[in-house]
Structure 1
Amino acid sequence: MTTGATRTFFLCVLLALPAMVNGAAPATRIVSLSPHLTELAFDAGAGPGLVGVVEYSDHPVEARMLPRVGDAFRIDRETLASLEPDLILAWAGGTPTATVEQLRRDGYRVVMIETGDPEEVAAALEKIAELAGTEDTAAPLAEAFRAGFSELRRRFADRPPVRVFVQISPRPLYTVGAGQIIDSVLTTCGGRNVFGEIEQLAPVVTDEAVIAADPQVIIAPSAAAEDVLTRWHKYPGIAAVRSGRLHIVEGDLLSRQSLRLLEGAREICALLDEARDGP
């Protein structure tokens, strides 16, 4: 082998090492089974490799043009097969276990992605990039995301706690419990989720329970705007109602475990700080 050929050979080996170490070549035909994983895949630089997504995968706009393989509860196995994916991204805690098991029995490579708190979101971005061979794209974004949350934790670590009720939906009255990522964001901002001790991700509560908890701030996603501006006004005894601290936030900034979570966290932190400084 000539010197030039030898150099070329070893260069090729070096370039292939990440895939060889991980036991698989970078994925080039990826299907995402959750809207937030779709978003993270685009952020990670794996967007060109996405060939299928589930319903409500609408960010970024490029995601809206991709074929749908189902939704959170149902997978169209025929459509999925036609896309010939070499990797399926599933949401740990969200994609039904039965769905994952069936896909694996069908011979698909399914990787479970955890996104239960901000650190896991950053790690998920890095994991998807590793699977797609796009680490250089994801690394600075993950670093900036972690730094942003570290700054928020530092800034609000010693601020007085603020009691917060998060209304996910009005009927039934769903809120967030322990282990939900919004609960983690509230903690980052020095907030105290008034239902944070319930060991359910999305418990149903009553108006009477909210009155008893006496939140200083009530937050609801934009989809619940009309309700949050009206239903609580009949309870003037609640601190949040007395002070007018009933806030609407863009739902996707909090409900989707993506890099946009940092933007949502900054908004929540600002709202809680206003409650500390206000009457």
Structure 2
Amino acid sequence: MRRFAAFIAYAACVACSIGTAHAGVSATDDAGNTVTLDAPAQRVISLAPHATELIYAAGGGAKLVGTVSYSDYPPAALKVPRIGDNRALDLERIAALKPDLIVVWRHGNAQQQIDRLRDLHIPLFFSEPHRLDDVATSLTRLGTLFGTDTAARAAADAYRRDIAQLRTRYAQRAPVRVFYEVWDQPLMTINGEQIISDAITLCGGRNVFAALRPPVPTLSTEAVLAANPEAIVTATPGATAPDRPLPALDRWRAWPQLAAVAQGNLFAIDGDLLSRAGPRLAQGAEQLCKDLDQARVRDATGKTN
């Protein structure tokens, strides 16, 4: 820990000197904080897989000196040194890498770890897009901080085009009541503030638990039965596969009275495409839209299992 303590002192001195210099680049993060750097970041650490994807897409991949477990995309990210995961970070390793910017998952990284990171006096950029359009905004903001505006704008524009095409095609179609299952024990879902819920809306779906609190609420099987969704969706394991299998949607077949079961609308989508708030979310949203469109067809034909 001596090395860590020494670096805290060093970083504090650097931060003081930066404070007197002319601000080189500045951007607002997803917590509403203004992040100001004396010059474009050259040594960046990412603390979430989605942040790693955003960094590469924004043109900052060559600047990435550390990241966390499951940061597997793009393939170049596999070569970046690991400094922990969202539950535990190697703070000494982070200090030794001497980053000039750390991209933090706002509610995915433990608060205690974030508090320790603040002791380093290194700028933190909090990333947690809540809406599909926020992904593009994140790209351009990170591009500003990296000095890679051209690449970041190109990536943001391509993503916006993909989302706009999906919105034009699907958003006004007949609504489908959707239950998104995050986990089965305890049974968990998402409310309307979560980015996946925005993807459901994009596809013309209606999140049946959008009004609940908190963002990832726990609920009962009886609540799902009462909501009677026309489609049940979950994520399949990607790089972020947990220690035990994700819930098998087949268990809902025990309630054949559910519209989603009766019509055969039980869908699973690659979690890396749908659960990570990065540019590939457009691919996950496209698959979700196709699934909900299939649910519309089954509803119209009266298909049952």
Fold shared, TM-score > 0.5 on shorter chain: yes
Indicate the SS of the match to 1:89.
strand
Paired residue for 1:9? none
Match status 1:272 vs 2:292: yes
Map 1:67-86 → 2, pairs under 5 A: 67-86=81-100
Give the Cα separation in 2 of the matches to 1:148 and 1:179.
Answer: 22
Deviations 1:171-226 (A, max 9, x none): 22111112011111001111011111102221112221111111111111113666
Give the Cα separation in 2 of the matches to 1:222 and 1:156.
Answer: 23
Q: 246, 253, 263: which is aligned to 1:233?
A: 253
The structure number with the bigger radius of gyration is 1
Q: 13, 20, 27: which is aligned to 2:24?
A: 20
Q: 61, 64, 67: which is aligned to 1:53?
A: 67
Paired residue for 2:208? 194
Q: 161, 186, 199: which is aligned to 2:175?
A: 161
Paired residue for 2:7? none
1:158 Cα deviation (Å)?
2.5
Aligned length: 261
Q: Normalising to structure 1: TM-score of the pair?
A: 0.88
Indicate the SS of the match to 1:258.
coil
Paired residue for 1:135? 149
Please tell me whether the aligned partners of residues 45 and 101 of structure 2 are also in contact (alpha carbons under 8 angstroms). yes
Please tell me whether the aligned partners of residues 102 and 123 of structure 2 are also in contact (alpha carbons under 8 angstroms). yes
Give the Cα separation in 2 of the matches to 1:243 and 1:114.
Answer: 35
Q: 116, 119, 139: which is aligned to 1:125?
A: 139
Match status 1:244 vs 2:258: no
Please tell me whether the aligned partners of residues 178 and 199 of structure 1 are also in contact (alpha carbons under 8 angstroms). no
1:101 Cα deviation (Å)?
3.5
1:97 Cα deviation (Å)?
4.1
Please tell me whether the aligned partners of residues 191 and 217 of structure 2 are also in contact (alpha carbons under 8 angstroms). yes
1:44 Cα deviation (Å)?
1.1
Give the Cα separation in 1 of the matches to 2:171 and 2:53.
Answer: 30
Indicate the SS of the match to 1:37.
helix
1:48 Cα deviation (Å)?
0.8
One-letter identity of the residue aligned with 1:52? G
Change (3 A) 1:114 1:207: closer
Give the Cα separation in 2 of the matches to 1:77 and 1:158.
Answer: 48
Give me the identity figure in percent.
41
Structure 1 consecutive aligned stretches of length 4 or more whose deviation exceeds 6 Å: none
One-letter identity of the residue aligned with 2:270? E
Paired residue for 1:175? 189
1:106 Cα deviation (Å)?
1.9
Q: 269, 282, 288: which is aligned to 1:262?
A: 282
One-letter identity of the residue aligned with 2:54? L
Deviations 1:98-146 (A, max 9, x none): 4334322222121223411111111111111111111111211101211
One-letter identity of the residue aligned with 2:260? A
Structure 2, unmatched stretches of 5+, are 1-22, 27-36, 238-244
Deviations 1:143-174 (A, max 9, x none): 12112222222223322210011111222211
Give the Cα separation in 2 of the matches to 1:206 and 1:178.
Answer: 18
Q: Normalising to structure 2: TM-score of the pair?
A: 0.80
